[in-house]
Structure 1
Amino acid sequence: MSALLLLLLGVLSSTGVLLTGVESVGVCYGGNGNNLPTKQAVVNLYKSNGIGKIRLYYPDEGALQALRGSNIEVILAVPNDQLQSVSNNGGATNWVNKYVKPYAGNVKLKYIAVGNEVHPGDALAGSVLPALQSIQNAISAANLQGQIKVSTAIDTTLLGNSYPPKDGVFSNSASSYITPIINFLAKNGAPLLANVYPYFAYVNNQQNIGLDYALFTKQGNNEVGYQNLFDALVDSLYAALEKVGASNVKVVVSESGWPSQGGVGATVQNAGTYYRNLIKHVKGGTPKRPNGPIETYLFAMFDENQKGGAETEKHFGLFRPDKSPKYQLSFN
């Protein structure tokens, strides 16, 4: 009986039924701070909170070491400043040999994000597709293509139109850049990683977007059948994917967050409301893709006191540098 039970448990765990955090949201590990805990302490904090997924913004070997045996799923990044060096097979093979192969046995590497928010007019735009192809070749050569999907992370500014969501389409300037990338994803069964921020959409268009619509607190649907801005943004991406013949490409929300200070609408109360409602909401789907959950990574684990840009950029953390929670959140 015990042998049979053990076998059954093994089957269940291999299908993910028993793995805590399998359906949990992920959290991005932002590290632009001089006051943050050690890598091992951070991984322990993920585990103690039942956070089953992490996004790393560069090949952080200290974090990868700490993640060994943790069962936490990982998005590992090729940062923008390394795109050119991996856009040929030799460079990509070296990268995979250094940062992927030594860890793939006991770190749950799920996606490699080749570049983050590269825009069509950027100097690096021409490197993204070759880098994707070269990293894919290196992953396949390492026989890891069944475990790891290769993608890139975009933001929603690549959409030329996003409202109503069914009319979502990539802009004319973005189309020639993003369409070959999407074809690559479709061919390899990889998702599109998308950074989706109702906060920025709200801040930039307050005359047309209500705070309640951005925070998931609106009662009832709007005139095009949407109750919240998050779903509207995700579905506009799905509509844009359909228009370039890639209706089978899934959107993974690789970042979404709300700052607690430093700008319009940036309060602890609003941010806590956003994160709580987002965690609850992504267990289901969107009107266009109702069969959830929506794989989603919250931004970010900690406030980052050395992050550049607007003041809000420093205040997206779910935890303070001393590891105390800024909000009462349940991640599972």
Structure 2
Amino acid sequence: MAFNLLLFGIFLKFLIITDAQSVGVCNGRVGNNLPSPQAVVNLYRANGITRMRIYDPHAATLQALSGTNIELILDVPNSYLENLNNPTAATNWVRDNILSYPNVRFRYIAVGNEVDPNNPNTRRYVPFVLPAMRNVQNALRAVGNPLKVSTATYTGLLKVSYPPSDGVFHDNVVGFIRPIITFLAQNGSPMLANIYPYFAHVGPPKLSDLSFALFTRSTQAYNDNGRDYFNLFDAMYDAHYAAQARLGGANVGIVVSESGWPSGGGDAATRDVATLENAGTYYRNLIRHVKERRRIETYLFAMFDENMKHGKETEQHFGVFSPSQQSKYQLRF
């Protein structure tokens, strides 16, 4: 109990110092009907969106961002992690994709996305994440660039998430994530975490209280060591923090590198959850929450519906804009 209270005391410090002046939006491009990179950047600027995440060093997007006030999280794709285990390749990657764009406002480099020892689609990348992070950070440091390097994780790495103060990683994840947490702590870098109350709500098992996931619950759902929980986002965020604090990450802040809700495409079990109304409610309340209450740097997923995303049909309906550049929810960023 004393340890849990200590974790939460440390966490409360981050609520005061976290920079959350702007809510960012992830710019996925898995579609064949999306606007040009320049049109996308123009749309960001027209809507006052000053932070973006992209999932690979797309030259046309980087060129369009040059000279703007938009800060960027740039990903190293999972498929390139093994290459960057070679220090020379990492130096060349930094030269080609960062130093070659001196007028782009890079914020973080995300070396890998949702690499998970328990996911058959990503477990082969596990040995390459930390060496690639180190090599990219060393390449930046060699040229005096202070840019921070991290990796994007997700709450699927947690074995326990309830109550949040008991958050802990899966046993076979610890050996992978602990050295990464140590690296982040040593370099003053944040953890990037993709947090989706939608997926936690639909399960399995499917949760009964939709209001808890949509930030619309008016009474506390439960109390954990003196902290009242009114929404699932906070519970998931705090559980991730508690898990990393147990592995030496009590002083490592968390940036929410993705969070979103689909507006359609649900199957028989999720059709009443994946709706335009629910998605609009989630995005509006999330923006208000992370700007006014918790002050957490957060990136919405995603800018557009992406008609070529694989997996369940809902994956194609996470956009806050349609490919025609029409706003789906009239959000105020």
Q: Is the 8 A contact 1:101 1:142 kept in 2?
A: no
Q: Is the 8 A contact 2:25 2:53 kept in 1?
A: yes
Give 1:102 shift.
Answer: 1.1
Partner residue, 1:230: 233
Distance 1:159 1:284, change over 3 A: farther
Length-normalised TM-score, structure 1 = 0.89
Secondary structure of 2:291's counterpart equals coil
Give, in whole Å, the separation in 2 of the partners of 1:323 and 1:83: 33
Give, in whole Å, the separation in 2 of the partners of 1:273 and 1:206: 23
Percent identity of equivalent pairs? 56
Secondary structure of 1:163's counterpart equals coil
Partner residue, 1:138: 139
Q: Does 1:267 align with 2:312?
A: no
Give, in whole Å, the separation in 2 of the partners of 1:161 and 1:55: 29
Partner residue, 2:79: 81
Give, in whole Å, the separation in 2 of the partners of 1:275 and 1:56: 20
Give 1:213 shift.
Answer: 0.3
Residues 107-118 of structure 1 mapped to structure 2, 5 A cutoff: 107-118=104-115
Q: Is the 8 A contact 2:212 2:232 kept in 1?
A: yes
Partner residue, 1:66: 64
Q: Which deviations, in whole Å up to 9, do the C-alpha atoms of 1:181-224 show, x marking residues without a partner?
A: 01000000000000000000000055545110000001111222
Q: Does 1:281 align with 2:289?
A: yes
Partner residue, 1:106: 103
| CA RMSD in angstroms, aligned pairs only | 1.3
The partner residue of 1:304 within 298, 303, 306 is 306
Structure 2 residue identity aligned to 1:279? I
Q: Is the 8 A contact 2:82 2:125 kept in 1?
A: yes
Partner residue, 2:315: 313
- Gaps in structure 1 of 5+ consecutive residues: 1-20, 286-291
Give 1:171 shift.
Answer: 1.3
Q: Is the 8 A contact 1:39 1:66 kept in 2?
A: yes
Q: Which deviations, in whole Å up to 9, do the C-alpha atoms of 1:70-115 show, x marking residues without a partner?
A: 1101000100010011112111001001000011x21110100000
The partner residue of 1:253 within 247, 253, 256 is 256
Secondary structure of 2:193's counterpart equals strand
Give, in whole Å, the separation in 2 of the partners of 1:149 and 1:189: 8
Secondary structure of 2:192's counterpart equals strand
Give 1:284 shift.
Answer: 3.9
Structure 1 residue identity aligned to 2:319? G
Give 1:276 shift.
Answer: 0.2
List, as ranges, runs of 4+ consecutive aligned residues in structure 1 with deviation greater than 2 Å. Answer: 205-209
Could you say which structure has the greater relative contact order, defined with CA pairs below 8 angstroms and 6 or more residues apart? 2
Secondary structure of 2:258's counterpart equals strand
Q: Which deviations, in whole Å up to 9, do the C-alpha atoms of 1:265-297 show, x marking residues without a partner?
A: 100000000000000000145xxxxxx410000
The partner residue of 1:42 within 23, 40, 43 is 40
